Amino acid sequence: MATAPNKRKCAVIGCGNVGASIAYTYTMSGLFSEMVLIDLNRAKAEGEAMDLSHGLPFLSPMKIYAGGYADLTDAFLIIIAAGANQKEGETRLQLLSTNLKIFASIVRQIKQYTTSAILLVVTNPVDVLTYYTMRVSGYPPEKVIGSGTVLDTARLKQLLGNYLSVDSRNIHAFIIGEHGDSELAVWSSANISGIDLDDYFRITGACNDNECLQDMFADVRDAAYRIIAGKGATYYAIAQAVMRITQSILRDENTVMPVSTLLHGEYGISDVCLGVPAVVGVTGVKRVLEIPLDENELQKLRKSAQTVKQELADCHASFV
């Protein structure tokens, strides 16, 4: 008989820079009382479990251990952060063939032990791998979530907040589409605590320079390349983004976030996972929100969907 998922238990598959950083945020959060770390490199998972456990006397009690796929039977949330990361100059989509092979083995093993967890995909290219995981696992679409453009949106908020000298949490603006080069900023509905961006510029006298906003978007889109050139990988901010998604799931907060999820005709797009605003809660993605876009944004979103669809078509033979 299937074991019911334990809401206090999570698993992290892939304990490299990203997986270990996510696990670290989980120890700080107090949301879980059990966390299993799984990695092809068992010694790495064991080392991370020991290191994280040694911080527990300063935090809340938690059982942290290196384990295997059989430990997933009662996990409520499974993070998948295993796989190669981008090398300098490499696009996320170029990672695809390597990470598809890794996912084939991981997804097969997950579904052998549980069909009732929520799967949160972080590995790149995240939109393609979210779709792959959903199709191959047989899980319902709402229970397979990609981190999507939650990180990219945070990058935009941080830059815009800095530019406007306002708390980045008061910025409401989305990056949507592929978590990658074809993503776009939704400037048409960007606002600061409900104040339209143009009005905010007028009220504050800040320089409303379209070129400046375009540069800001380019900085968001290319941020990973610059970070990778500097330190080899990106991991702290994605860990915070995953923590925020996790919080909304565990606490059923119904937060609106641009996670990667299956589209069923929204924006005239179907049968592809993309980062779009969605309500996220304890059952996973509860609803995709079709936010207003201007014509230019809509065309860019559809083009972004085409980019991801082309990748899916190229690797269709892997979908068995």
Would you tell me which residues interact with ligand NAD (CB under 6 A)? Answer: 13-19, 38-41, 44, 81-86, 95, 99, 102, 105-106, 122-124, 126, 147, 151, 179, 233-235, 238
Q: Which is nearer to ligand NAD, 192 or 274 (CB)?
A: 274
* Nearest-angstrom CA–CA distance, 319 and 288: 25
What does the angle CA 227 – CA 233 – CA 238 come to, to the nearest 5 degrees?
Answer: 85
Tell me, rounded to whole angstroms, the distance of Cα 57 from its chain centroid.
30
121 or 192, CB closer to ligand NAD? 121
The helix or strand, by DSSP H or E, that contains position 284, with its residue range, turns out to be: strand 284-288
Least distance from ligand NAD to the Cβ atom of residue 305, Å: 18
| Shortest separation between residue 78's beta carbon and ligand NAD, angstroms | 12
How far is it, in rounded angstroms, from Cα 12 to Cα 20? 8
Kindly tell me which of 21 and 192 has the beta carbon lying closer to ligand NAD: 21
| CB-count burial class (<10 Å; 0-12, 13-18, 19+) for 306 | middle
Based on CB atoms, which residue is closest to ligand NAD, 122 or 160? 122
Which residue is closest to ligand NAD by CB? 16
CB 122 within 8 A of CB 238: yes
Closest to ligand NAD by CB, 38 vs 190, is 38
CB of 17 to ligand NAD, least distance (A): 3
Q: At what angle do helices 236-250 and 17-29 cross, to 10 degrees?
A: 50
Q: Among candidates 58, 57, 48, 42, which has minimal Cα distance to 21?
A: 48
Chain centroid to CA 151: 7
Q: Residue 121: beta bridge partners?
A: 80, 146
Q: Is position 172 annotated as part of the catalytic site?
A: no
Q: CB of residue 204 vs ligand NAD: minimum separation in angstroms?
A: 31
Cβ of residue 147: shortest distance to ligand NAD, in angstroms?
4
Instruction: Point out the catalytic residue in the list 54, 172, 179, 264.
Output: 179
- The residues annotated with a catalytic role in the active site are 179
